[in-house]
Amino acid sequence: MDMPTFNELMELAEHDPEGFEALRTELIDECIRRSSARNQRRLRGLQFVIDARRRIAGNPMKALMDIQAMMHESFLELKRALLFQQDSRMSSAPTSGQVLYFEKSLSATNK
């Protein structure tokens, strides 16, 4: 299915809100179906949460703010996980060691 232009979507939302919602659902489902099989379950779960937030928000602006906050929290969790992984790698490096001294070989001093 071809993606409608912004103006077409705006007009559909203004004049046929039910049609807009049906199209929105269809486009989201198509996008999820095109994703890899291992990601589809997670994406459907995420879409369920997004749809629930939209329903309980009461108005589009509140829904936008709730979903934006959800995305921001997810981003912060990813950032924490990456920083923790980086810290773990750094802390696994030895903090002390033994210095080995080598005597110069005769061939090295004759050059």
pTM of this structure:
0.66
- Dist CA 45 CA 40 (whole Å): 9
Domain boundaries, the chain: 1-34, 38-77
Residue 13, pLDDT above cutoff 70:
yes
Contact 21, 36 (CB under 8 A): no
- Dist CA 93 CA 85 (whole Å): 13
pLDDT in tens, 49-93: 999 999 999 999 999 999 999 999 999 999 999 988 876 666 666
- Dist CA 15 CA 9 (whole Å): 10
Question: Which ranges constitute the DSSP H helices of 1-111?
Answer: 6-15, 17-34, 37-57, 60-91, 106-109
